[in-house]
Amino acid sequence: MKKLSARRRHPLAALVVLLLALACTGGLYAAFAPASKAQADETAQSLAIDEGKKLYAVGCASCHGTGGQGTTDGPSLVGVGAAAVDFQVGTGRMPAQQPGAQVPRKKVIYSQAEIDQLAAYIASLGAGPAVPTKEQYGPQGADIANGGALFRNNCAQCHNFTGKGGALTHGKYAPGLEGVDPKHIYEAMQTGPQNMPSFPDQTLSEQNKKDIIAYLNAVNGEDTESPGGLSLGGLGPVSEGLFAWLFGLGGLIVVAVWVAARTAKAKKS
């Protein structure tokens, strides 16, 4: 359990985040750079859709059907929107590797540019939520405390008080939220991936989502302080009880053995 919490404090964690951030920025740049060239806008868009269609045919069609209509192996993608694609592919969940209770988060195998192309193609199949912009999930103007209240009302029941994750039925689980890109958190709330229910803007407004993301960053972010010391994975009484037994009572028993042990006798000679 120590490991778990230590992992995000790992010296390499910062590096990983940095690389991720670089990759994201690069990807965003790649996505937006052509768009800024005004004239080529529409052409670029249709180009992206074409590219996305090719990628789709290779990587996705076997489960989701050639036109995104869905098969027995995968749901229909018509109308899921670009946000869903960006979330699923951007967190490595798609393409799925093997059937199981739940598709886990994995290494991302597509570049952000490719993901955007895929997203553009899927979005062209039917209207759905678009990929949020940085203004939507960024920290500016967010109310952390209100985000906490919203998080406890809408999210904590599955993801734990501070987003450490938890169990669902039959091997499914709500994943931990540490180290998840704010964009992906936003998209998850918007689209409701897998068994997670969606929280559309009508019932959880854009501002609400922003607040929640800011709260998560405050209590479960990279530099979140754990004032009392080692957080034991933030799992609550189970890990605390284990620690009390192993290191608390265990340590005291070691001390007791020393207190009660016989002092070494002088060698008989």
74-93 per-residue burial string, b: 16 or more CB within 10 A, e: under 16:
beebbebbbbbbbbbbbbbb
H/E element holding 173? strand 173-174
C-alpha dihedral, 135 to 141 to 144 to 145, nearest 10°:
-140
Residue 225 half-sphere exposure toward CB, CA atoms < 13 A: 2
Q: At which residue do the structure tokens 């910062």 appear?
A: 14
In DSSP terms, 166 is beta-bridged to 174
Residue 116: CB minimum distance to other proteins, A = 25
Which residue's CB is nearer to other proteins, number 30 or number 156? 156
60 is in an annotated binding site: yes
H/E element, 11 = helix 11-36
What is the end-to-end Cα distance of the chain in Å, rounded? 51
159 belongs to an annotated ligand binding site: yes
Please state the closest distance from residue 220 (CB atom) to other proteins, in A.
Answer: 8
Coil, strand or helix at 156 = helix
Rounded to the nearest 5°, which phi and psi values hold at 163? 80, 35
Min dist. Cβ of residue 190 to other proteins (A): 10
Asked if residue 24 belongs to a known ligand binding site, the reply is: no
For residue 210, the minimal CB distance to other proteins (Å) is: 13
The minimum distance between CB 40 and other proteins, in angstroms, equals 35
Closer residue to other proteins in complex, CB, 107/170: 170
Mark the binding-site residues for heme c, compressed into ranges.
Answer: 60, 63-64, 155, 158-159
Mark the binding-site residues, compressed into ranges.
Answer: 60, 63-64, 155, 158-159
